[in-house]
Structure 1
Amino acid sequence: MPPPPALARLHRVRWAMTLLFAATTAACLLVLAVLAVRTDGRSRTNDLDNDVSHRADGLARTVYYDGGTLHLQALRDDDLARSAERLGVLQASGHSPLRIRSARTSPTALPDREALDEIWQQVRHDQETVLVGAEVDGREIQWAAAPVWDDDTIGAAVLVGADPAQSRTAHNRLIRWLAVGCTALVLAAAAVGHLLSGRAMRPALRGLEQQEQFLAEAAHELRTPLATLRLAVESGRTSPARAPIALDEAVRLIDRLGRLVTGLLARARVEAGTQDVELTPLRLDQLVEQTVEELPDRTGVTVTTEAAIVGGDPELLAQAVRNLVENALRHGGGTPVEVTVTTGRVAVRDHGPGVPSKDRTRVFERHVTGAASTGTGTGLAIVRWVAELHGGTAQLSPAHGGGLLAELLLPQHTGG
């Protein structure tokens, strides 16, 4: 059976909220991931540039000219030189062509001649350490070239290179971890959002359930008096001699309907939390006698009472008593129904088949239909609800000698 339209709309709203929560989280994580990737990329590039430029500057200070001769001996024992990935020294004096003075690496580990010429020209133009990217064997290498001064001219340059491949590998690994982590976080956020939206909708679902329960209980309570009222009116219309009696019966039934509607509205407001039940001292025995007297069919019902005062709502208690008696009449198999009122107790006994022990608690749940006394699944649920609202309880038990004993137990009124 498909869910009711209102319930289906609530489910759609819940899924929409879940998707919105997940999408918002995904957008925020995407922005943060992009910032993290860019920051990491710039940081790794800056670290690489700083490493090669610092090495080039440091090694350029160990290289010196003496009488026009370039001395490179210090490079052999320098830690910066030994740990450099790629190292070379460029030299050009006057109009002589550029030469490669390699300290550790072979000339093939350096850029080609055209790239070296461009680096040399840039160093002489800027007269400071320069950073350039140049390919070697198809791989992009980051280079730093620091000038070596021969008096007031640049006679040589120390060239240090580093391969950014390892840094890029670590950067790509970070991107993959961010993708996996963000995906997991989005899924977790969707799950949390679905859970939170479900909790947020519980009041709405509870209200919808209460509305359905109220409609079912209202139909249950009003069906019998309305049918009786119709019979009374039709009886008076078809038999003029019975018109006065039918009119009196109709007035009585209308009064009863008014009290039923008042009780239903009071119960709906109490369940919705908009009204607190007002417990006032009342005579339980008189209330039960009046309630049984108003039943349209009370044949076979006997009432035995003793004076009993309880604190309660008269409309709600009358509704509970009426449901107990009607339940006994409906499911007692046409047997006599005995109603007994003592202090804080209303007992209704029939001589029917009774209720199996496994169902004696379950039949008080709403919308339960099963054993002989369950009826529509609302009558006994109302009885239990009214009892608990008054601080009491309702229970079923096998009657001595056969049948079923239904009891409404209320605390005794102790006020003055």
Structure 2
Amino acid sequence: MRVLISTSDARPAVARLHRTRVQLTVLITAITTLCMIVLGLVAAVIDARSRDQALDGALDRVLTGLAPRVYLNDDDSVDTSDLPSDQLVGGEIAILVLTADGTGGWTVHYGHLRSHMPAESGIAATADAATRAAGDTVYRDSIDSAGRRVRLATAVFGWEESDREVVLITGADPDGWDRGRALLWWALIVGGTVMVAASAVGGHLLSGRSMRQALVLLDDQERFLSDAAHELRTPLATHRLATAPGRRTQAEAEQVLADVHALGAKMERVVTGLLARARMQSGVTTMERVQLLLDQLTESVVDEFDNPRLVLQPNPTVVMGDPHLLALAIRNLVENALTHGAVNPRAPVEIYVGEGRVCVRDHGTGLAPRLSSNPFDRGVTAGRGSGIGLALVAWIAELHGGTATIEPVAGGGTIATLLLPPPTAVPTGTASRSRP
């Protein structure tokens, strides 16, 4: 099974990836916060303008609705007797009806909610401004007699049969009119906070998901380097000892050359196998599936060893798979048998091929206790090697839809089996990414 790197891993590369994830989360949260602030300000400004327009529209409706209800009597006096019964009167909008008194002052003919209007000086200034506006409605902000804010709308009306004019003033408390604005602010604050928190959590999860593959590739790289170091350490040490300076006879020199050649071939096979696994797991290459004769492939692998202890019993059998990977698996099984079945140097290693399987039997000491649970686990070894060889065999078997087993045999030794499915049963999908 693949094990993902935990967040507590202290390796520098992993730590940098985790710092990048935190930075991405902070950046996403900051951008979302900035966007929510800008959105909230824009919404607040639009709402404020909309409410101001709604308030001015309400004041204007009262103005235009009450103007026809103010009459001029025959004696040139202003009649406001119909105003108290009008449906526009009696609400939260204050109303004043004024006329000029001829001395520069103003006479109030009707008032509703007079305490919500400015003081006398403020009323006079408002009426003067409306008179100068030449018939246009004048809107202005002021302070009422109790010190509260008040929004005023003022217009001048007249009659065709008279030169006399009346000033109609309507006013309302903007704070009372804007009670919904507080709800909007709370909705923006609470909703924005929830959105920022959601973006922080979502950004953290998405950034972690986006980096998961990078962590897997980093894990693959480090495992490849670790496996290569384990596998190559012993051949390199042996190579160094074999080529140490010293006087040798002709026979000894030839033996050294043969040993060095064998070590070079072994290191080449190790590197080839590890590279093939790493490239396939990273998605650089895919497994080749061709129809091949398993018995002939095994014969070619056995011939590479040129070891008289190897006894091959081939039977024609056809499988589907990658010839390079299957050769690597068979080679590892044979090397494992030669290494761990060397109790008797003359004891044979018997290899049977048939019915889609390769069985390698040695006459060694059998399975060591530490191997009895699962000898194909990565790193499990009986004391020699690194345990990578059998793990690669299991990985290649799984890749082909088959199995790899190793069992003790009565009379001593073990038998390792690589079993492949028939050609018609081999899956056509991509290979599994699980690895030893």
TM-score by length of 1: 0.83
Does the CA-based 8 Å contact 1:76-1:103 persist in structure 2? Answer: no
Do structure 1's residue 11 and structure 2's residue 27 form an aligned pair? no
Q: CA deviation at 1:292?
A: 5.6
Mapped partners of 1:204, 1:164: distance in 2: 58
Offset at residue 304 of structure 1 (A): 5.0
Q: C-alpha separation between the residues in 1 aligned to 2:90 and 2:339?
A: 103
- Partners of 2:423 and 2:297 in 1: CA distance: 10
Q: Are 1:112 and 2:140 counterparts?
A: no
SS in 2 for 1:218: helix
Q: Which residue of 2 aligns with 1:131?
A: 139
Change (3 A) 1:46 1:78: same
How many Å apart are 1:62 and its aligned residue?
1.0
Could you tell me which of 317, 321, 325 is aligned with 2:326? 317
Counterpart position of 1:351: 366
Q: Give the alignment partner of residue 302 of structure 2, picking from 289, 297, 300.
A: 289
1:409 to 2:419 alignment: yes
Is 1:170 aligned to 2:183, yes or no? no
Q: Which moved more, 1:67-76 or 1:199-208?
A: 199-208
Give the match for residue 101 of structure 1: 109
Q: Which amino acid aligns with 1:320?
A: A
Q: Contact between 1:374 and 1:380, CA under 8 Å: does it hold in 2? A: no
**What residue number does 1:278 align with?**
288
Q: Aligned to 1:209, which of 219, 230, 251?
A: 219
Superimposed CA distance per residue, residues 165-190 of structure 1 (whole angstroms, 9 cap, x where no aligned partner): 13433213212221221121122112
SS of the aligned residue for 1:146 comes to: strand
Q: Is the 8 A contact 1:61 1:148 kept in 2?
A: no
What residue is the counterpart of 1:24 in the other structure? 31
CA contact (8 A) 1:354 1:404 kept: no
The CA distance in 1 between the partners of 2:125 and 2:102, in whole Å, is 17
Percent of pairs with identical residues: 39
Residue identity opposite 1:237 in structure 2: G
Rounded Cα–Cα distance in structure 2 between residues aligned with 1:165 and 1:401: 100
> Equivalent residue for 1:185?
195
Partner of 1:393: 403
Following the alignment from structure 1 to structure 2, what is the Cα–Cα distance between the partners of residues 27 and 96? 55
Tell me the amino acid that sits aligned with residue 329 of structure 2: A
Q: Partner residue of 1:237?
A: 246
Tell me if 1:141 matches 2:150.
yes
Within 5 Å, which residues of 2 pair with 1:294-309?
303-309=311-317
1:268-307 Cα offsets, whole Å, 9 max, x none, are: 333332223334525243145346657xxx9xx7645323
Q: Once the 2 structures are TM-superposed, how far is the Cα of residue 4 of structure 1 from its aligned partner?
A: 2.1
1:76 counterpart SS class: coil
| CA shift for structure 1 position 375 | 7.2
In structure 2, do the counterparts of structure 1 residues 49 and 378 end up closer, same or farther at CA, with 3 Å as the change threshold? farther
Is the contact made by 1:355 and 1:404 (CA closer than 8 Å) also made in structure 2?
no
Structure 2 match to 1:45: 52
Distance 1:314 1:163 in 2: 89
Counterpart of 1:77? 85
Give how far 1:312 is off.
4.2
Distance 1:253 1:112 in 2: 108
Paired letter, 1:162: A
Q: Counterparts of 1:404 and 1:44 in 2: how far apart (Å)?
A: 89
Aligned partner of 2:95 in structure 1 is 87
Structure 2 unaligned segments of length 5 or more: list them. 1-7, 425-436
SS at match of 2:256: helix
1:409: how far off? 1.4
Going from structure 1 to structure 2, the CA distance change for 1:10 and 1:365 (only over 3 Å counts) comes to: farther
Give deviations 1:193-234, integer Å, cap 9, x for gaps: 222222222332222122112212222332333333334324
Which of the residues 214, 224, 229 maps onto 2:234?
224
Q: Give the secondary structure class of the aligned counterpart of 2:140.
A: strand
Distance 2:340 2:97 in 1: 109
CA contact 1:354–1:373 (8 Å) conserved in 2:
no
RMSD of aligned alpha carbons? 3.4
